Amino acid sequence: MEAHTESPREQRLHAKGKRLRPERGAQLLEMALALPFLLVFVVGLADFGGAYNVKQKLSNAAREGARFGISATNLDTTSMSAVRDTVVNYLTNAGLTACNFSGSPASGKASTFGSGNCVLTIDRANATVTSGGATLVTTKVTLTYPLTWTFNRIIGLLVPGANPTLPASLTSVAFMKNIS
């Protein structure tokens, strides 16, 4: 019997098939190595973008509270409650409802609502700022809000035992010169 000989075309197709096999495995390996890093990058980007968004909302809420507080003519508990309600309404409308700033305001110039990672402090007369040689009496609103990071869980999956230290809360402070 005579041995079968391949035509030049069959030899080229056979040779191409041999060259492509290792490349397919290399692509799969490259994807398996790159995917975890891509996942960490995407989750980190989304997480830090979300934190920036929360920080903006907190800054706006603190500024709204301070703006409302500067027009109060007296330093009674009703004006403190009104400032607190202004901040809470802004946060609720912005979709940030993790905190409960309930409670009675302290009588006097400053009040603190909430506890732990959820704190709202309103200071109507003790907060002073020096500007151009003059000391201004201001309303200071400090708002601390909790933040949960997805990034910590993803890093923990990829690197067992890793625990990056990211802040558990964000804080914003707003000052405005009192009108009265």
User: What is the domain extent for residue 24?
Assistant: 8-177
pTM for the complete prediction? 0.74
The answer to whether the CB of 170 falls within 8 A of the CB of 147 is yes
Share of the chain above pLDDT 70, in %: 85
Which structure tokens are listed for 94?
Answer: 């912005």
Within-domain flag for 50: yes
Residue range 111-157, pLDDT digits in tens: 899 888 899 999 876 767 777 788 877 889 999 999 888 887 777 77
Task: State the Cα torsion 9-11-13-15 to the nearest 10°.
Answer: -150
Within-domain flag for 64: yes
Distance CA 141, CA 111 (A): 10
**pLDDT score, position 56:** 97
Within-domain flag for 161: yes
Within-domain flag for 114: yes
Within-domain flag for 73: yes
Within-domain flag for 116: yes
Band the pLDDT of 172: cuts 50, 70, 90: very high
User: Can you tell me the mean pLDDT for 79-97?
Assistant: 91
DSSP string spanning 143-155? EEEE---SHHHHH
Of 103, 104, 74, 68, which is closest to residue 87 (Cα–Cα)?
Answer: 68
Phi-psi region of 95 (alpha: psi -120 to 50; beta: other; left: phi over 0): left
User: Can you tell me the mean pLDDT for 11-16?
Assistant: 62
Within-domain flag for 2: no
Band the pLDDT of 23: cuts 50, 70, 90: low
Within-domain flag for 3: no
Amino acid, res. 4: H
Domain count, the chain: 1
Q: In the chain, what is the straight-line distance between the N-terminal and C-terminal CA atoms, in Å? A: 113
Distance CA 110, CA 122 (A): 6
